[in-house]
Amino acid sequence: MIDLNEMAKEFDCTFARNHQVAGEHYTSKSIQPWDFMQAVMSEEQFEGYIRGNVIKYIARYPEKGGKIDVEKARHYIDKLLELL
């Protein structure tokens, strides 16, 4: 199995999965939930999931999470950029 973290070190790049916005509740897992989702979903389904979360966090930030929600949206945008 390819270790993406090791690849990132070699190429001096970072992946969205390597950081967590507002806590470590996912990064402490042995596999991040979106890594599992990406493994079991089609490319189209997974991209839709990512795009949906961008929309969710941007739509709700004024009433709910403020700046943290914008940072979460950016986190999902970073992941989307990795897919393109």
| Residue 18: predicted pLDDT | 61
DSSP state of 2: -
Number of domains in the chain: 1
Q: Express each pLDDT in 6-61 by its tens digit.
A: 544 444 445 666 666 666 666 677 787 888 899 999 999 999 999 999 999 999 99
pTM, two decimal places: 0.68
Helix (H, G, I), strand (E, B) or coil at 50: helix
| Residue 1: predicted pLDDT | 54
Range of the domain at 46: 4-83
| Residue 13: predicted pLDDT | 43
